[in-house]
Amino acid sequence: MGFFPSLKGLERLDLSGTRGWETRDEIGFLHGSGTHRPLDYRRESLTRPQLLVRYLEAARHRVDWGDIDRDTVVQVARNLLAKE
């Protein structure tokens, strides 16, 4: 079978008719960043502040924001970083 989903699996991924990823989803993602590491995770991982810094760096290069208000989510990321 391999890594790639079957055609049947791709049909289940069809999100037409559902709402897309929006500003509130992106903000939720930011609030959860760095909080989901399993307790038994053995590899060194990035800290929450490091993840937020990387998000802000990547945001400068992101072209397609879709239904996301770029200015709002970047400000939320900055605010979260300032609180860390």
Has residue 6 got a pLDDT over 50? no
Q: Is residue 27 part of a domain?
A: yes
Count up the domains in the chain and report the number: 1
Q: What is the pLDDT of residue 77?
A: 96
Q: Residue 60 in contact with residue 25, Cβ under 8 Å?
A: no
pTM summary value: 0.71
Number of neighbours of residue 77 by Cβ within 10 angstroms: 22
Using the predicted structure, report yes or no on whether residue 4 has a pLDDT greater than 90. no
pLDDT, tens digit, 9 for 90 and up, residues 24-64: 999 999 999 987 766 666 667 788 999 999 999 999 999 99
pLDDT at 60: 97
Extract the tokens encoding 17: 């008719």
How far apart CA 45 and CA 39 sit, in angstroms, is 12
Asked if residue 76 belongs to a domain, the reply is yes
Quick check: is 58 in a domain?
A: yes
